[in-house]
Chain A
């Protein structure tokens, strides 16, 4: 993914991919959008969506009714968690502007190896834990590198996230659980 500009990944998983393989699909009335903000990163920058993907996103949601529940997932957080560690996406504001009209938007992100939530209007952001290693809270360490903890504590800092859609509820039920 890193050395070959994603060619190996796309050859295997994205035969008909657009760009770096962003896509959307509908399931039970919910519109899911998978965005890619980890390629073509520029020096000193944050995550990037890029013009082509943003143009695609604008078209993708243009004709959806405002009551369609939207779920967006992207690796790097789509809000600025901590700029100094690159924990943000430089052009996410543009993407989020296309989703402003919707009554329920859930954004699922990873990258920072800890859970965080943010609510902004109709948009709820969630990040998930890693199953490999935890990372420090913003600014709590010199850098965002893997956080070393006593072995018996490790599995309490790793975890998975379950997401459930409860009909007629405004927000998705997002439940984070640790490995122990």
Chain B
């Protein structure tokens, strides 16, 4: 009996399956990308600490630091990439990360306070 599945049809079916699979994969990686973008881009300053002290964001993300401590703090990158004014309680500072890399920063008034932003 002649095989119902001819080679041609098997190949084309595999092609369709492959396309469908890659479409699904693209969908989910797009979803994952969106998820990472929506990940916390806010850093809270309280009790002489940056929380979270290490965050990972995508290129183009704007990170906002909010000071919830009783005293002023600043946000200053180690390499001069960004620098806030003195932030009083409830003041905030934002910086948009346009380039990938790891950005270490600290509070220039209380230099023991450090953090990092990893930009992918």
Contacts and interface: CB of A to CB of B under 8 A. Distances in A.
A84 interface: yes
B114 A43 contact: yes
B71 A146 contact: yes
Contacts of A2: 72, 74, 85-86, 108-109
B91 interface: no
B70 A86 contact: no
Contacts of A144: 48, 110
Given A43-B104, A84-B112, A146-B70, 12 more contacts: A2-B85, A2-B86, A3-B85, A41-B108, A41-B109, A43-B76, A43-B78, A43-B105, A46-B111, A86-B111, A144-B48, A144-B110
Contacts of B65: none
Contact of B86 (A3, A42, A44, A142): A3
14 contacts: A3-B85, A41-B108, A41-B111, A43-B76, A44-B111, A45-B111, A45-B112, A46-B111, A85-B48, A142-B47, A143-B47, A145-B47, A145-B70, A145-B71
Contact of B69 (A3, A46, A145): A145
Contacts, number: 47
Interface residues of B, number: 21
A3 to B, nearest CB: 5
**Could you tell me the dominant secondary structure of chain A's interface residues?**
loop
A157 to B, nearest CB: 16
A145 B48 contact: yes
Report the 4 A-B pairs with minimum CB-CB distance, sorted nearest first: A43-B106, A143-B48, A86-B112, A41-B111
Interface in A38-56: 41-46
Interface of B: 47-49, 69-72, 74, 76, 78, 85-86, 104-106, 108-112, 114
**Could you tell me the dominant secondary structure of chain B's interface residues?**
loop
Contacts of A41: 108-109, 111
* A: contact size bracket: 10 to 19
Contacts of B72: 2
A44 B112 contact: yes
A86 B113 CA distance: 9
Contacts of A84: 112
Contacts of B114: 43-44
Centre residue among B47, B109, B112, B114 by max chain A CB count within 10 A: B112
A4 B49 CA distance: 24
A129 B104 CA distance: 34
A40 B47 CA distance: 22
